[in-house]
Amino acid sequence: MSKPSLSIVQGSGSPRVSKWLTFPATVVAPSPFDKAQTCEFRIAREDLVKSVLSARRQPIFELWSCILGAPPPVNNVETFNLKPSDGLTSLGDAHACFQGVKRPCGEDDDGSAWLAYILKPDAFYEYVSHMACVAHKQEAPSDIVFVAYVRLDEPCAPDGHRVKGVLTHWHFVIADEADASLPEEYQKRYDRRLW
């Protein structure tokens, strides 16, 4: 019996990346120097890739629903969730901005070059392992706020280039008892409030 001959077929396609992992290179936000002006921040993709590789999908769902202001683009998200975009926020909706995180962060020994943008979403998307749709819209509890952290470029001047830094990480934190629109103990947590 003769062996079948095999040949290699060269394809011209490229690897397909899921839509929920294809996000914009930058996100628009109020400028830390003047809330009436806008600027842009790059999105740190490396940490998001690490999240996916370690089977952590929630940070990406929070990026879509709390920072980009859109439902995660996964199958059936529009049909499975009632009013899929209602209650979501984008970084442009930030109502407070602080500078300095009072702790070492990355290569910054004291965290002074970091910004914290504060948002108060009404809803967000949670990753749930489900056959119909993995994105489940949840109501955000009233006693939490969402904080997005940005590392300013060095040097970073108020005027000049529109891109001012890189958005690196984000999470929900408990709200302050006296002001539920700000993080708990925000006076001790940050160096100063910019607006």
Indicate whether 118 belongs to any domain: yes
Domain assignment present for 53: yes
127 in any annotated domain: yes
The answer as to whether 18 is a domain residue is no
Per-residue confidence in pLDDT tens, the chain, 195 aa = 677 777 776 766 666 668 888 889 999 999 999 999 999 999 998 888 888 888 889 999 999 999 999 999 999 999 988 899 999 999 999 999 999 998 877 777 778 889 999 999 999 999 999 888 999 999 999 999 999 999 998 766 666 678 889 999 999 999 999 999 999 999 999 999 999
Strand residue runs (E) in the chain? 26-30, 38-43, 96-99, 114-119, 123-127, 135-139, 144-152, 163-174, 192-193
Residue 10 within a domain: no
Supply the pTM of this predicted model.
0.86
| Domain span holding position 115 | 24-193
Would 68 be classed as within a structural domain? yes
Is residue 122 a part of any domain in this protein? yes
Structurally, how many domains does the chain consist of? Answer: 1
Q: Is 142 among the domain residues?
A: yes
